[in-house]
């Protein structure tokens, strides 16, 4: 930090404060983790300075032999770990990985037939008329993705994200009675809508997804099944999700982030069948800028870690801890969406349990040293900004070695804060969905306990 402080002390201070915050507070954000020192060191070095557009052994720049080594290692570890035919380690983030995947499917299923029909190999060789027709065809494709309030992600075809502008999107949701994905409703919707891509995967669904059924539905309607396993990749890597619940044998294309339950550096990755490999490898420069060699080095390290037997214990502990947290919360009277969890996350309905919005609950918990995020719940009366839910996940605290006993205590701390917190008012005294009131004695006491834990 002294080296940084000599140049810009405010950055050094912010890094120091971030380390302290991550040590002192209870990190329950379901998409966060603590990467290992080996992963962090692999990322913080001179690889960052290297340009390496292209793919392993086929670069547009000279001097890429070391980048080739780490990119090949990252891909090899990913293939071995997940049993995938092909792995692409370049995406800079989960959103980028999804964009690469969308374009790969469009290239294979829309562009390739158009090129074949025109009798050319390259888009540059299409006549202006054929090119105009192909661009129209790109704009007319459909995607079926999980609705946001059921736990889907913005990149699965929603309007605020470019995927919603690229595709005509329809979403599938959950059964209001059970909170679980309604596969028969999904099948009916897919039959009517005939999407090019069905996207499975979520950011805030506390249960398992049956990818065998999803593939069956995709095959029936001629869609490509894409699974975004960003959240639960660590559970797939750790062999907690197997059989129907492991997306890799079922989907033609799988995307992930590397920094959530997988515990690697911030980044993304695409796994696919051999049939889509060529299109996926065109991710840069199709939608990605030059690859980040330092991050690919860190991906290789983190994936090597995830191939060790200890990672299986870790993944199982993540799920056991989420269950212990769920039980602790429900025993104290909290309502959880779907009544529990099968994976690494829980969604507390704080509106019905504690009379708070998600925003109020999130800030009351933060005041008490517990870091979470607000999240919409199905048919959320408070909308996507204030929300009625709090999402909590166990990947980070499990990395720190906390177990079921601590989870039960943390459930008690969360329950105490949310029971004590009350909706607040604006400066003018009007009810506010953003403000909360919490006795500072309670938040101080809980913060101290959070630090001790």
As annotated, the binding site includes 148, 152-154, 274
- Residue 45: other Cβ atoms inside 10 A: 12
Stretch near ligand PLP under the rule CB under 6 A, chosen from 92-100, 158-166, 353-361, 378-386: 92-100
| Cα gap 70→116, rounded to integer Å | 36
| Cα gap 224→203, rounded to integer Å | 21
Q: Give least dist CB 191 to ligand PLP, A.
A: 25
Binding-residue pattern over the window 369 to 408 for ligand PLP, x denoting contact by CB under 6 A:
----------------------------------------
Locate 137 and state its tokens.
């065809």
**Of these, 86, 109, 153, 294, which contacts ligand PLP (CB under 6 A)?**
153
Active site residue 224: no
| The one catalytic residue among 260, 374, 433, 449 | 260
Q: Give least dist CB 343 to ligand PLP, A.
A: 12
Active site residue 228: yes
**Of these, 93, 341, 360, 375, which contacts ligand PLP (CB under 6 A)?**
93
Q: Is 8 left (phi over 0), alpha (psi -120 to 50) or beta?
A: beta
| The one catalytic residue among 257, 357, 387, 399 | 257
Q: Is 172 left (phi over 0), alpha (psi -120 to 50) or beta?
A: beta
Identity of the residue, 257 or 368, whose beta carbon is nearer to ligand PLP in the bound complex = 257
Active site residue 266: yes
Locate 142 and state its tokens.
């459909």
- DSSP string of 275-313? HHHHHHTTHHHHT--S--HHHHHHHHHHHHHHTSHHHHH
DSSP class of residue 47 equals: G
Q: Give least dist CB 230 to ligand PLP, A.
A: 4
Binding-residue pattern over the window 245 to 264 for ligand PLP, x denoting contact by CB under 6 A:
------------x-------
| Cα gap 416→65, rounded to integer Å | 56
Stretch near ligand PLP under the rule CB under 6 A, chosen from 93-101, 175-183, 286-294, 425-433: 93-101
Locate 433 and state its tokens.
């969905």
| The one catalytic residue among 24, 32, 50, 51 | 51
Active site residue 202: no
Q: Which residue is nearest to ligand PLP (CB)?
A: 94
Q: Which of residues 208-237 bind ligand PLP (CB under 6 A)?
A: 228, 230-231
Active site residue 50: no
| The one catalytic residue among 50, 212, 266, 312 | 266
Helix (H, G, I), strand (E, B) or coil at 195: coil
The sheet carrying 224-228 orders its strands as: 86-88, 268-272, 253-257, 224-228, 197-201, 142-146, 168-172
Identity of the residue, 95 or 318, whose beta carbon is nearer to ligand PLP in the bound complex = 95
Helix (H, G, I), strand (E, B) or coil at 221: helix
Q: Give least dist CB 164 to ligand PLP, A.
A: 14
Identity of the residue, 153 or 207, whose beta carbon is nearer to ligand PLP in the bound complex = 153
Helix (H) or strand (E) holding 145, with range, is strand 142-146
Name the residue among 301, 342, 281 with its Cα closest to residue 56: 281
31 binds ligand PLP (CB under 6 A): yes
Catalytic residue set = 51, 53, 228, 257, 260, 266
Return residues touching ligand PLP (CB under 6 A).
Answer: 31, 93-95, 153, 155, 201, 203, 228, 230-231, 257, 268
């Amino acid at each position: 930090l002294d080296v940084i402080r000599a140049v810009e002390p405010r950055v050094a201070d912010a890094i120091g404060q971030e380390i302290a915050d991550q040590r002192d507070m209870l990190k329950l954000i379901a998409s966060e983790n603590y990467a290992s020192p080996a992963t962090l060191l692999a990322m913080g070095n001179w690889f960052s300075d290297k340009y390496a557009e292209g793919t392993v052994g086929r670069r547009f720049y000279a001097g890429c032999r070391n980048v080739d080594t780490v990119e090949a290692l990252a891909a090899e570890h990913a293939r071995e770990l997940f049993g995938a035919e092909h792995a692409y380690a370049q995406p800079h983030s989960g959103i980028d990985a999804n964009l690469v995947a969308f374009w790969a499917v469009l290239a294979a299923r829309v562009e390739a037939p158009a090129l074949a029909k025109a009798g050319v190999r390259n888009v540059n060789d299409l006549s202006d008329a054929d090119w105009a027709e192909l661009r129209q065809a790109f704009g007319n494709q459909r995607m079926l993705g999980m609705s946001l309030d059921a736990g889907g992600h913005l990149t699965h075809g929603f309007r605020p994200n470019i995927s919603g502008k690229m595709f005509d999107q329809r979403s599938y949701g959950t059964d209001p009675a059970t909170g679980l994905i309604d596969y028969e409703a999904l099948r009916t919707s897919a039959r009517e809508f005939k999407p090019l891509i069905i996207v499975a995967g979520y950011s805030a669904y506390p249960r398992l997804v049956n990818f065998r059924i999803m593939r069956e539905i995709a095959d029936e309607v001629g869609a490509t099944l894409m699974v975004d396993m960003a959240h639960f990749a660590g559970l797939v890597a750790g062999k907690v999700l197997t059989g129907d619940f492991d997306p890799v044998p079922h989907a033609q294309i799988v995307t992930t982030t590397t920094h959530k339950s997988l515990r690697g550096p911030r980044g993304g990755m695409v796994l696919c069948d051999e049939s889509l490999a060529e299109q996926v490898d065109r991710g840069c420069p199709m939608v990605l800028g030059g690859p980040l060699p330092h991050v690919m080095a860190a991906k290789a390290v983190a994936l090597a870690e995830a191939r060790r037997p200890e990672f299986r214990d870790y993944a199982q502990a993540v799920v056991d801890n989420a269950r212990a947290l769920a039980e602790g919360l429900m025993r104290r009277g909290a309502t959880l969406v779907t009544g529990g969890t099968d994976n690494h996350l829980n969604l507390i309905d704080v509106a019905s349990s504690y009379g708070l919005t998600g925003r109020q609950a999130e800030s009351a918990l933060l005041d008490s040293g517990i870091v979470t995020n607000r999240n919409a719940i199905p048919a959320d009366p408070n909308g996507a900004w204030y929300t009625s839910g709090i999402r909590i996940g166990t990947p980070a605290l499990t990395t720190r070695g906390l177990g079921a006993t601590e989870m039960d205590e943390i459930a008690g701390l969360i329950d105490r804060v949310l029971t004590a917190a009350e909706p607040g008012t604006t400066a003018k005294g009007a009810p506010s969905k953003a403000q909360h009131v919490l006795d500072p004695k309670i938040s101080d006491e809980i913060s101290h306990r959070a630090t001790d834990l």
